[in-house]
Amino acid sequence: MVGAGACCTPGREAGAAVRATAAPAAGPVDTSGMVRLAGTFRMGTDDRVGFPSDGEGPIRQVSLSPFWIDTRAVSNDQFAAFVEATGYRTEAEEFGWSYVFAGFLPPELRGPDAPRPQGAPWWIGQADAIWSHPEGPGSDLAGRGDHPVVHISWHDASAYAAWAGKRLPTEAEWEFAARGGLDQARYPWGDELTPDGQHRCNIWQGRFPVSNTVADGHLGTAPVNAYEPNGYGLYNVAGNIWEWVADWWGTDHPIGPLTDPTGPPEGTAKVMRGGSYMCHDSYCNRYRVAARTQNTPDAGTGHLGFRLAADA
């Protein structure tokens, strides 16, 4: 059975999890490239364009203590430095495969016998697809050093965070930062997807999954500083890649007011936020700032990465 959130981020087979290699902790926290935030906001949405089963609502008042958060997702170059320093092997490397968008593979690798998750035929389980070879053997990171690292599991992201002396943001911290100071706007920049006809994020353009016009300038991932940042200086909190957060998945939210919520105490899936370059209104409009989905902590795909936070 495919893991939760298959249409957006397919999971691995049940019971197939492996334990990622632990990484050593680093020295003092480096807050360069981060912004310090705190405040109170209205989290979630009652917007009917969302998915009721995703638990986007109800709207609840949340107050957050000061914290730091990356303005950009962790890049391939940054992750390469981590691997060089620690020798870390990602879970995709341990499994020996990861999911790649079928359109990125040559015809001989996407035939009728290619391994595809149920309900999401645009994904293919590609052997040896890992962070440094995003489309499998023969692919590399040439020209993508400043793109977000992908094929990253929640365990991998947590290991990088420990090495950096940081942590993954809570879901509340992520949404507060992604909103950029706007109250209940649909997107990080307002309520219109393309204000004045300008593309503000990297999502699918055209007819999913057969035709991408690349009208927004990017077929796959975009650089971590693509497009204009939001009001707090964060880049690409809508589209580009899904981002892991710290919380276990849950859909029953306390109404509030809440202070520094951290989600359910336990679970089987972790929350992901932000949407990706594969999101399209015809099947997944989860590039909205309140949108959310889930997957098992060992999952990794060609559009799944992370950014970090730290206590202030």
Assign residue 233 the CATH number of its domain.
3.90.1580.10
Tell me what pLDDT residue 11 has.
82
- pTM, two decimals, is 0.94
Report the range out of 42-56, 100-114, 142-156 with the highest average pLDDT. 142-156
In a domain, 277, yes or no: yes
Predicted confidence (pLDDT) at residue 21 exceeds the cutoff of 80:
no
Q: What is the mean pLDDT of residues 208-224?
A: 96
Q: What is the mean pLDDT of residues 244-260?
A: 95
- On average, the pLDDT of the chain sits at 93
Structural domain of residue 127, as residue ranges? Answer: 39-311
Tell me what pLDDT residue 22 has.
53
Q: What is the mean pLDDT of residues 92-113?
A: 95
Using pLDDT thresholds of 50, 70 and 90, give the confidence band for residue 27. Answer: low
Residue pair 67/38 in contact (Cβ under 8 Å)? The answer is yes
Predicted confidence (pLDDT) at residue 143 exceeds the cutoff of 70:
yes
Tell me what pLDDT residue 17 has.
52
In a domain, 116, yes or no: yes
Tell me what pLDDT residue 23 has.
56
In a domain, 68, yes or no: yes
In a domain, 292, yes or no: yes
Q: What is the mean pLDDT of residues 70-91?
A: 97
pLDDT digits (tens, 9 = 90+) for 157-188: 999 999 999 999 999 999 999 999 999 999 99
Predicted confidence (pLDDT) at residue 239 exceeds the cutoff of 90:
yes
Tell me what pLDDT residue 2 has.
34
pLDDT digits (tens, 9 = 90+) for 271-289: 999 999 999 988 889 999 9
Tell me what pLDDT residue 71 has.
98
In a domain, 26, yes or no: no
In a domain, 33, yes or no: no
- Distance in angstroms (rounded) separating the CA atoms of residues 201 and 234: 12
User: How many domains is the chain partitioned into structurally?
Assistant: 1
In a domain, 28, yes or no: no
Using pLDDT thresholds of 50, 70 and 90, give the confidence band for residue 256. Answer: confident
Tell me what pLDDT residue 13 has.
63
In a domain, 126, yes or no: yes
Residue 101: how many CA atoms within 13 Å on its side-chain side? 21
Using pLDDT thresholds of 50, 70 and 90, give the confidence band for residue 24. Answer: low
